[in-house]
Amino acid sequence: MPNPKSSLVVDLLDRIPLRAPIPEPVEGFDLLQHGMVAVLLRTLTHKQAESAVRALSRSFPDWNEVRVSQAQELAAVMGGGKKGVPAARLVKEYLQEIFQNSHGLELEFLREDATGAARFVAQLPFMGMAVANFVLWIANDREMPITPPLIRVLDRAGAVPRAASVRKARAAIEPLVPAGRELEFVMRFGEVASNWCDARKPICWECKLVEVCKHGKKVHKDWKDQQARLAAQRAREEARQAALRKKEEERRRREEERERKRAEAAAKKRAREEERRKAAEQRRRDQQRAKLQREKERAAARKKREADKKKKEAERARKKAAAEAKRKKDAARKEAARKKAEARRKAEAKKKAARKKTATKKSAAKKSSSRKKTPTRKKTPARKPTAKKATKKTTKKKPAARKQTTRKSTTTRRKSPVRKSGSTKSSGAGKKKTTRKPTARKTTRRKR
């Protein structure tokens, strides 16, 4: 009679999908390399994964160099085409996880203690329990590994009760496993333990075994109730949020209305200020134009005054030049008259001297005729030099008289009395009349 729990296990096995194909043992590989092959099967075929691991072993001195190398460098060594870089990243992540948890890059210590090895592989989330069970299966000489995650999954599914020791758990689990499917059994249930059946927070509503798992059904029911409560809570929260949004929209509408009115008032105020500014600017421009006009008028008046002043000065200069020309003309006329009078006086003096000489000769001839044998005396030219001296004296005084006359003519601007041609006394009297004191020039000066 078939065991119902065995049928349950077979049913569970058929429901669980594998993330990667089941790897095959490779001759000459250690546990680390077998785990690397199992990880690379997620993107590569078994042949590609095996050749990639061999290429890495040949190209690098140790696995630590592989861990610290760039993914592009590893992809160039591994090959694999477009999948080379993702596969290289899987290798780096796999080695980094083992290094962080074991402080080394080898897994041969898993052969020594099965219980410790089961606890160790349970702490490797990137490797996953499926790959970990494959590595433990190789380490235990192809004996089915019994790990705490496997016991937990079977206990929750109702296949076997939770045992206190690994030996009792093995005795309860081995009869339920179909012959020849031990590796597949541990790898498939390892996928369940890694992906859905967490020890503290299982996600049974996503598990493939939720329909046949007792614990999964209960968790799924609780999850549905929780989702219903959450949905109701979300609905209440959405209603509350809708009310709040409505209030907020009303408040925002009122605020926008106030802001609009405030903006309109501000715009009107700006418009008034702009009008005032334009009016002030217009007034300023008008004042500036008026000021410029006044300045132009003042400049024109100033130019006119300057022109009038220049015209007056030119007229004054012309009159002055005319007066000076007239003065020079009068002075020349007076000088000509003076020279003419002087020449006349000299001619008269010469005639007088000649007459006197003639008279003297006549008187001398009479005396000589009256006196017999009386020697004639020499002529005394005493009077003649005296006349010359007087003439020189008179001529010396004349320039002073002319100068005084010139001053008088320039200051008083009146015609000097015309001297009559006559004797030397009349000319001398004329000189005395024209001679004035310097003070008379001040009194007769005309204001300009």
Same domain, 51 and 157: yes
Taking each helix axis from N to C end, the angle separating 4-15 and 148-157, rounded to the nearest 10 degrees, works out to 110
| Residue 401 located in a structural domain | no
Same domain, 46 and 68: yes
Last residue of a domain, one of 296, 324, 345: 296
CA distance 316 to 76: 115
pTM of the model: 0.51
Residue 21: how many other CB atoms lie within 10 Å: 13
For the chain (448 residues), the mean pLDDT of every run of 10, in chain order, is 64 77 87 90 89 90 90 85 84 91 87 84 86 88 84 80 77 81 84 82 79 77 83 88 90 91 92 92 92 92 90 88 89 89 89 86 78 51 46 44 44 46 43 47 46
CA distance 444 to 410: 10
Contacts of 411 (CB under 8 A, 6+ apart): 441, 444, 445
Same domain, 27 and 151: yes
DSSP code of residue 198: -
pLDDT value of residue 25: 87
Distance of CA 152 to the CA centre of its chain: 68
Nearest C-alpha neighbor of 78 from the set 88, 68, 69: 88
Q: What is the DSSP string of 132-201?
A: HHHHHHHHTTSPPP--HHHHHHHHHHTSSPPPSSHHHHHHHHGGGSPTT-HHHHHHHHHHHHHHT--SSS
pLDDT value of residue 436: 54
Question: How many Cα neighbours within 13 Å face the side chain of 145?
Answer: 35
pLDDT value of residue 392: 45
CA distance 290 to 286: 6
Domain that holds residue 284: 237-296
Planar angle of CA 2, 8, 10, nearest 5 degrees: 85
Last residue of a domain, one of 226, 248, 276: 226
Tell me the CATH number at 123. Answer: 1.10.340.30
Give the residue carrying structure tokens 């601007």. 413
| Residue 258 located in a structural domain | yes
Same domain, 194 and 105: yes
